[in-house]
Chain A
Amino acid sequence: MNAVSATDADAATLGTVLGTLETVILGKPEQIRLCLACLLARGHLLIEDVPGVGKTTLAHALAHVLGLAWQRVQFTSDLLPADIIGVSIFDRASQRFNFRQGPIFTQLLLADEVNRASPRTQSALLEAMEERQVSADGTTYPLPEPFFVVATQNPHEQLGTFALPESQLDRFLMRVRLGYPDAAHERELLRGGERRELLSRIAPALSAAAVLRVQRAVRAMHVADALLDYTQALIARTRERSDLKLGLSPRAGQGLLRAAQAWAYLAARPAVLPEDVQAVLPAVVAHRLERRDPAGAGDGDALGREIIRAVPVPP
């Protein structure tokens, strides 16, 4: 099996993947493309929205269509780290401890309502996300490849939730909001019945191996010096602005560039263009930038657009 480079077939298949996803989540092609780009850039994804707009459905659909093994964990306040990572159990027969792997040992983990878990549990999950491995009883267990976390959270639910701190939010490459569908798609939604039934009928378009191939191709996407100049100017802009609590971290900058590479790959371009950076920037900075003055208008996406407008593309 040729695992070194992505073939044209892989690129063509991605078109099919997008098409399939659009039949499940109606009227959100932009968000779907962002989610896919996020995963292809080896990034974890945070979907934030009110209940019932299809967060979980989208996550399911992604796992299905990419042909990945997936697990779902519903986060609650009494969820323990061991419930995710796994436990060591004493086996009488062999007179020793056996590690029973938790749900995290999968290729796509859907962490529902991640902000409802205690900080301890959140932290265990986020550590695994960064390290791509799990340590238990002094033994290190690598997680499968590829490994994604798609987490969802409800921003309006305040009671009994633990908001993720900035350091942990930084580990998600993108934050995507779905939002309500427009009238035409809502009508179609109402007419079409339960969307989750569709999920079972989705045929996997890719495989784990193909996903890894595409990821490698994304990382090889050409980035010109001129584009690095522009990206740096954008990052610098977030640090210059005095009305922001924090500028983008170097990790965020790396993520921005990788996401832009994935976006350019999805657009079948030979190289990354400023337009690609602009396309992913709002989603990449949305959960990282925060105004000092909370009353300031606009959410994270609006901030991202402000920054794009403030930085000219050099000729």
Chain B
Amino acid sequence: MAAAPSADSEPLQPLAWACAAFAGGALLNLDRVPAWTAATTLLLIAWRLTTERSRARLPGSVARALLALAVVAVVLLRFHTLNGLAAGTALLMLMSALKLLETRARRDQFVLVGAGLFLLLSACLDRQSLVRVPLYALQAWLSCSALAVVASAGFGGRAALRLAGRALLFALPLAVLLFLFFPRLPGAFWALQRGGEAQTGLSDTMSPGSIAKLVASYDPAFRVQFAGRAPPAEELYWRGPVLHEFDGHTWRRTSGAFHPRQRLQYLGTPYRYRVALEPTRLRWWFALDTPAQSPDASVLLTYDNQLLGTEPLTQPISFDAVSYTRTRALEPLGALARQQDTTLPPGANPRSAALAQTLRQRADSDADFVQATLGYLHTGGFEYTLTPEPLGADPVDDFLFNTRAGFCGHYASAFVALMRAASVPARVVTGYLGGEWNPIGGYFVVRQSDAHAWAEVWLQGRGWTRIDPTAVVAPERLRRGVFDLLPDALSAPERLLRASAWLTRALQRWDAANAWWSDHVVKFDYSAQLDLLGRLGIRSPDVRYLGWAFVLALFGWLAIIAWHIGRSARPASPDTLARAYARLCHKLERIGPPRAPHQGPLSFAETVTAQRPELRGSVHALLARYAQLRYGPAAPAATRTRDVEAFRRAVARLSLSRAAGG
């Protein structure tokens, strides 16, 4: 009976290592693929390991082919494509998991480890934050150790880990070199389709409660470093989407509306700063209140002072900008724009409309009306809370006259609605307020929890003027973050983190490290490379020269590694006797035939004296002496040392001449 092909002869260990490397790669992509993909993969790994233990049969080729087709079909059904990062990763993961069904020989285990490495690569494509770096390093280490175990059956786990660790350390300088000097292509090399992924940050609509949801997130939205003096905390309004359309419940951006940007007179201090945006997969670029001009050719500065990119932000990006926090309009508001920003849904929120008209009639000017409205909010018993009661059919009325409790979104929404009800042009601005000063990195970090909404009102002679109704209700919000105001908004562990000064400091350090990583590593692109080369004195780097320099460096480093490995492979340092013998052989080889590696001392003596009979006395005796010292009965240590030394000196003294007739 034919023996089972693999189960008997192959130990579990290489398979287990290969599976571990593959599972590591799968785990790194856990947040990208749907849960069932990861679950199927991990289950298949577990199943394969148990069949190896129980020596069960693997499925036949027809079953495997059907399964492969089924997997392709499922992925197509779920993603409607096989292309793109999410679909591609899911397909790779499932197909490699199916490979487990036919993993019999060593070659298949190599394929599994390869899949693990490929999954690592796919994770690296767009998940590049500092916190994942140790995970990636671990996965690389695990996969290389698995390669070692699979490649040579005799390798124990410990030895493989040691070897792989050493090899990776050797590779590290090479990786740094490659990172710094490998010619980079300008532009987005990975034009990847990224569909079906969650977007984070502000969206272009605002309904009651939508910002409160954001506030629960502690993730950084962007970091800002001011070139000179930073504005005071109450001026740190970071502009995001500006919303114009109101349906009584939700605020929206006007789609397709285009108005020319008004000429502005900039007042007060210009603030110069650099913003490092986290990828949001949205088009907004956040900037301080009113940017003076667009920082980038691909970014539009809109009529409502928003920075709008042409592509969604899929990678971290930095830009320099100049902003003012006070401006004056030099042109009147256009009729179309005025109409757009005074429109309210007809019939909605009648009580607030009535209130607005009453207040307007009492006031002398629009500015007075604004003050009166703010006064109404200030004295009306309004409460600032993250968890307001749900609002009814006329949300503004409900909020102003019933619940009287809400978050920034409620106040901005109600305020703008009141303004418009009195035909004062007004719009809602969403964005962020404030930011946490990081003394270690010297920058502000603005988090999702700093999300805010305020209003802008058109006032005659001043133009668009920022009014923050929330500040009237909760003035503290201007100077402190939401969490200081509403500690309940934080989860218990986060509260604990913030309670300890030491932990806060540690968090700031970590954030500074993250900022450094993101600025210097993740964003190291073509222009940064040119900068570096320029600083090294290479002004106009020709890509060809760069290539040559790179090849030279590569081979140089490989030579160093080869020399090192060669040295460690050589036998341990030979003792004095061996060195003396080697020297004797060397001397003899110069005058006669070389010693074959397998020749012992006596047969070498025969070979030599066959050609040079006159040497029989000296050489023969020396070689016999060596044989005695090396293979003879052990003498006491002192005697032996003396004898070896005498032999060494005799060899040193030996002088041989090339015989004429040799």
Contacts and interface: CB of A to CB of B under 8 A. Distances in A.
Contacts of A309: 596, 598
Contacts of B582: 315
A308 B598 CA distance: 7
A315 B600 contact: no
Given A315-B578, A315-B581, A271 B633 contact: yes
Nearest to B583: A315
**List of 7 A-B pairs having minimum Cβ-Cβ separation, nearest first:** A312-B597, A274-B600, A315-B578, A275-B600, A224-B631, A222-B633, A271-B632
A278 interface: yes
A272 B582 CA distance: 21
B599 interface: yes
Interface in B568-611: 571, 574, 578, 581-582, 585, 596-603
A203 interface: no
B317 to A, nearest CB: 58
A312 B598 contact: yes
Given A273-B627, A315-B581, A310 B598 contact: yes
Q: Which residue of B597, B598, B599 has the most chain A CB atoms within 10 A of its CB atom? A: B598
Interface string B520-544: 0000000000000000000000000
B78 interface: no
Nearest to B584: A315
B627 to A, nearest CB: 6
Given A222-B632, A315-B574, A273 B598 contact: no
A270 interface: yes
A314 B600 CA distance: 9
Interface of A: 222, 224, 226-227, 270-275, 278, 308-315
Contact of A313 (B571, B600, B633, B634): B600
Contact of A224 (B581, B585, B632): B632
A68 to B, nearest CB: 31
Contact of A270 (B578, B598, B599, B632): B632
B495 interface: no
Contacts of B574: 315
B83 interface: no
6 contacts: A226-B630, A270-B633, A274-B600, A308-B598, A309-B596, A313-B600
Contacts of A312: 597-598
B597 A313 contact: yes
A98 B627 CA distance: 57
B602 A275 contact: yes
B631 A272 contact: yes
Given A271-B627, A308-B598, A315-B581, 5 more contacts: A224-B634, A270-B632, A273-B602, A274-B631, A313-B598
B603 A271 contact: no
B628 interface: yes
Contacts of A226: 630-631
A224 B630 contact: yes
Contacts of B630: 224, 226
Contacts of B631: 222, 224, 226-227, 271-274
Interface of B: 571, 574, 578, 581-582, 585, 596-603, 627-628, 630-634
B628 A313 contact: no
Contacts of A308: 598
Nearest to A275: B600
Nearest to A234: B598
Contacts of A224: 630-634
A271 B628 contact: yes
A260 to B, nearest CB: 11
A309 B599 CA distance: 8
Contacts of A311: 598
A273 B626 CA distance: 11
A278 B603 CA distance: 10
A225 to B, nearest CB: 9
B59 to A, nearest CB: 33
B417 to A, nearest CB: 87
A270 B628 contact: yes
Contacts of A271: 627-628, 631-633
Contacts of B603: 275, 278
Contacts of B600: 273-275, 278, 313
A230 to B, nearest CB: 9
Nearest to B581: A315
Nearest to B596: A309
Contacts of B634: 224
Contacts of A313: 597-600
Contacts of B581: 315
Nearest to A264: B631
A113 to B, nearest CB: 37
Contacts of B578: 314-315
Nearest to B627: A273
A273 B627 CA distance: 7
Nearest to A223: B631
A226 B571 CA distance: 14
Contacts of B596: 309
Nearest to A311: B598
Nearest to A225: B634
A274 B595 CA distance: 14
Contacts of A278: 598, 600, 603
A23 B578 CA distance: 43
Nearest to B580: A315
A314 B582 CA distance: 10
B463 to A, nearest CB: 88
Contacts of B601: 273-274
Contacts of A227: 631
Nearest to A222: B633
Contacts of A270: 628, 632-633
B600 to A, nearest CB: 4
A271 B630 CA distance: 10
Contacts of B602: 273, 275
B330 to A, nearest CB: 90
B205 to A, nearest CB: 72
A273 B634 CA distance: 14
B647 to A, nearest CB: 13
A309 B600 CA distance: 11
Nearest to B599: A313
Contacts of B628: 270-271
Contacts of B632: 222, 224, 270-271
Nearest to A267: B602
A202 B628 CA distance: 37
A271 B602 CA distance: 13
A270 B598 CA distance: 21
Contacts of A315: 574, 578, 581-582, 585
Nearest to B582: A315
Nearest to B603: A275
Among A227, A275, A311, A312, the most chain B Cβ lie within 10 Å of the Cβ of A275
